[in-house]
Structure 1
Amino acid sequence: MTKFSIILGIIFILMGLYSYFGISSESVTALIPAFFGVPMLILGWLGLNEKYLKHAMHGAAVLTLLGFAGTVGGLIKFFKMLGGAEMERPAAVTVQAIMAILCLLFLIFAVKSFIDARRNKESNSN
């Protein structure tokens, strides 16, 4: 999960920078993916140390939960846009949808990892 966290952090940073400098530098909100990417990258890096692994990955899971909660509306708008609805800023909707999907994927893998870790711990203690 640490490598996934690091990769996701880098992707979010690149998405934020591309959104701001490549698509629209009108608002600092275009950098929101980067604002999530930096702590995600740091948490992944901290998780490389076994001493901090559990706390770092739980922190990353909480961060992606917040990221998903904040971007799920963009995912809904994205599907409406695919259905033909006009959106004011389609590029922003697309970035939100990508971020929502990536956050959801991380959450699914994190929960699976936490369950597997608990099962391994229980089977090793018996």
Structure 2
Amino acid sequence: MTGWTIGYGSLLTALGIGGFVATGREHKTALIPAGVGAAALGLGLLARRESSRKAALVGATAVAGLGLAGAARGLGKLPALLRGEPVERPAAVIAQSIMAGTSAVYLLAAVPSLLRD
């Protein structure tokens, strides 16, 4: 799970920085995925040490749960955006949907792994 955690954190960090740049560096809230990603990435790196692996992965799972909860509202607007209907802040809808999706996938992989250990 350490590799998954580092990958998840890296993806969200890139999403946040990319979203911030894509929105003209105007909307600082576009960096929220980068903050969640940095936390997950740090916990993933910490999980490389055997002595802190379990606690770090539990922490990363909690971060992913918070990430999913915070970004899930974008999923409700995604169908309208995909149909070509106007939505307020389409870049935010896309970033929130990606963050929610990656967080859900991470949780689906992490929770069973933690329960086995």
- TM band (smaller chain): over 0.9
Q: Deviations over 1:5-32 (max 9, x none)?
A: 1111111111111111123322210100
Which residue identity is paired with 1:54?
A: K
> Is 1:101 matched with 2:87?
no
- 1:81 alignment partner in structure 2: 81
> Which whole-Å CA distance do the structure 2 matches of 1:24 and 1:40 have between them?
26
Q: Which runs of no fewer than 5 residues in structure 1 stay unpaired?
A: 118-126
CA shift, 1:116, in A, is: 2.2
Contact 1:24 1:30 (C-alpha < 8 Å) held by counterparts: no
- 2:62 alignment partner in structure 1: 62
TM-score normalised according to structure 1 size: 0.87
Q: Which has the higher contact order (CA 8 A, sep 6+)?
A: 2
Larger radius of gyration: 1
Structure 1 runs of 4+ off > 3 angstroms? none
> Which whole-Å CA distance do the structure 1 matches of 2:61 and 2:77 have between them?
24
> Which whole-Å CA distance do the structure 1 matches of 2:24 and 2:104 have between them?
25
TM-score normalised according to structure 2 size: 0.93
Identity %: 38
- 2:21 alignment partner in structure 1: 21
- 2:4 alignment partner in structure 1: 4
CA RMSD across the alignment = 1.2
Moved more, 42-51 or 73-82: 73-82
What SS class does the counterpart of residue 26 from structure 2 fall into? coil
Which residue identity is paired with 2:90?
A: P
> Which whole-Å CA distance do the structure 1 matches of 2:21 and 2:73 have between them?
23
| Aligned residue pairs, count | 117
- 2:49 alignment partner in structure 1: 49
